[in-house]
Structure 1
Amino acid sequence: MYIIKKVNILRKKITHIKKTNKKIGLIPTMGNLHYGHIKLILSAQKYTDIIIVSIFINPMQFNNSFDLKDYPKTFQEDCMILKKYNVDILFFPNIDDIYSNDIKNHTFVEVPKLSNILEGQSRPGHFRGVTTIVSKLFNLIQPDYSFFGEKDYQQLLIIKTLIKELNYMIKIISIPTVRLKNGLALSSRNNNLSIREIKVAPYLYKIIKKTCKKIITKDNHEIEKVINLSKNLLIKKGFSIDLFNIYDYKTLMTPTKKSKTIILLASAWLGKTRLIDNKKIFFR
């Protein structure tokens, strides 16, 4: 596995790969890799000839400096995982290689309509940071495919919109959320949960599933009541809720009669850890 830290070296490597007509797959990460990332790699092996994983803890997408500082850094362990699964290139740049100027004054890329709602309201500037770094990686690596998990559904939809509207010739492959046996979605942030919180955290998805089952059988005017009851259950379990509601799967707007698929999006704090999850509902 090649470990590349400098942009100019990466460019030379990409130029060489492009001459071979091999398909390139990109998996953008912030490190602290888990089995969810491994599933992305396994998917990339089916579609591509060259797999590139980036590890970059992107300061532009953090609106909390303490959160940025505390984000887990496990470079050596990450390298062992990537080598085990035959990743070809690890791109591991420094901040100065990605942001040559002060981040606050740096050029950015944004999908405004989708970035400033739902999660974007709770985390101002977060998705602007995501789309900026992803655009930079797309420009540098020029992948044929890029791979993302479905746990961060709003992010996934934003990136798909980015590709469409900026005319990138990149195919996005999304991977269903990877979970523990108890239903808890895998996330680097799970490392911040206390022993007590680890036992409580799986209730988020359990209540999401129960809510979705009830929504399928209810009329529209009863859905709000179902959602409020579920919120109360989560609060009793110790969650502080940011978001728990249903939206149109394609637009993230309030569902209408034309919405063939909807999605329940949830984000909630458990102690100092913010958990997000979702589930699609087919009922219209």
Structure 2
Amino acid sequence: MHVFDRKKDLQSFLQNERNKNRTIALVATMGALHQGHLSLVKKAILETDVVIVSVFVNPTQFDQKEDLEKYPRNLDKDLALLQSVDPNIVVFTPTASEIYGEQVVSKSYDFDGLDKVMEGAFRTGHFDGVGTIVELFLKTVSPDRAYFGEKDFQQLQIIKKMVASKQLPYTIVGCPIEREANGLAMSSRNERLSPSTREEAGFIYKTLKAAKAKFGTESAKGIKDWVNTQFAENQTLELEYFEITDEDTLTPMNEKQATQKYRAFIAVYADGVRLIDNLRLN
């Protein structure tokens, strides 16, 4: 295993690999790794020669200081997990000043409206922070391919938009959601849930699947009203939003179009922990 915390050391290592005509992948994470992250790493290993996993809790994408402070961190455990997947893995663990420089602030982006709905509507400045750190990591590593999970599907679309608009020469690869036995989307935040709440949170995916079943015959409004009722009756989980959108533009669905792909998105609070999920509907 190779662990770097300085950009210049990592870039020197990567230049040697490029001189051998080896392809390079980036898996950008905020640590507290789980099987969802490892599925991205395993896919990257299959498709490229050298895999870089960044472990960095990015302060600019948190709209609440408390959420940043409570975000789980366990680098020793993360390194052990990555070692178990591939003893030749490369890990990048920069400090904020190493990756940002003197000012740890976000740039401003035009995401063509992708950032104005759902997560963007509820988390001020979140996607500017995401865009900033992803652009910094892409330019630091210069990977052939970069892998991101579909649990953060809106984020994935925004990263693709940024790369296309800036004409950056990187291929962005979306990877399927990994789920716990009860259907709960794997997330580092799940570690903050009590065992009973973690089990109850399977209700989120159960509701998404029911919404998908209703999608063939019911209107978006009818499905949204039904989801709101389901959560109003749930004593453990608090619904923040449920939305059905066009998969590409993230525009909320009004009338169903046969040629469009649609996806349901949801955000829920459980034990004060914010959980998100999504599911393709057609």
2:245 matched residue in structure 1: 247
Does residue 216 of structure 1 match 2:210? no
Q: Return the alpha-carbon distance in structure 1 between the equivalents of residues 215 and 58 of structure 2.
A: 37
Counterpart position of 2:97 = 96
CA shift at 1:110, angstroms? 5.3
Q: Secondary structure at the match of 1:53?
A: strand
Partner of 1:232: 229
Tell me the secondary structure at the aligned position of residue 216 of structure 2: helix
> Do 2:146 and 2:170's aligned partners in 1 also have CA atoms closer than 8 Å?
yes
CA distance in 1, matches of 2:153, 2:107: 25
- Please say if residues 107 and 129 of structure 2, whose CA atoms lie closer than 8 Å, have aligned partners that are also in contact: no
Partner of 1:176 in structure 2?
176
CA distance in 2, matches of 1:13, 1:265: 40
Q: Identity across aligned pairs (percent)?
A: 32
Runs of 5+ consecutive residues of structure 2 not aligned to the other structure: none
Q: Which amino acid aligns with 1:182?
A: N
Question: Superposed, which structure 2 residues align to 1:34-113 within 5 Å?
Answer: 34-86=34-86, 87-104=88-105, 107-109=107-109, 111=111, 113=113
SS at match of 2:266: strand
Distance 1:259 1:125 in 2: 33
Measured in 1, the distance between the counterparts of 2:272 and 2:190 equals 11
Conservation of the 8 A alpha-carbon contact between 1:111 and 1:131: no
Q: Distance in 2 between the 1:235 and 1:11 partners?
A: 52
Residues 123-272 of structure 1: pairs in structure 2 closer than 5 A: 123-218=123-218, 220=219, 223-237=220-234, 238-255=236-253, 256=255, 257=257, 259-272=259-272
* Corresponding residue number in structure 2 for 1:24: 24
Which amino acid in structure 2 is aligned with residue 240 of structure 1?
A: E
* Deviation for aligned residue 1:271: 2.5
Tell me, what secondary structure is at the counterpart of 2:251? coil
- Where 1:114 maps in the other structure, the secondary structure is coil
Structure 1 unaligned blocks of 5 or more? none
Runs of 4+ residues deviating >6 angstroms: none
Pair 1:108–1:84, CA change in 2 (3 A) = farther
Is the Cα contact below 8 Å between 2:182 and 2:199 reproduced in 1? no
Closer, same or farther: CA 88–226 of 1 in aligned 2, 3 Å: closer
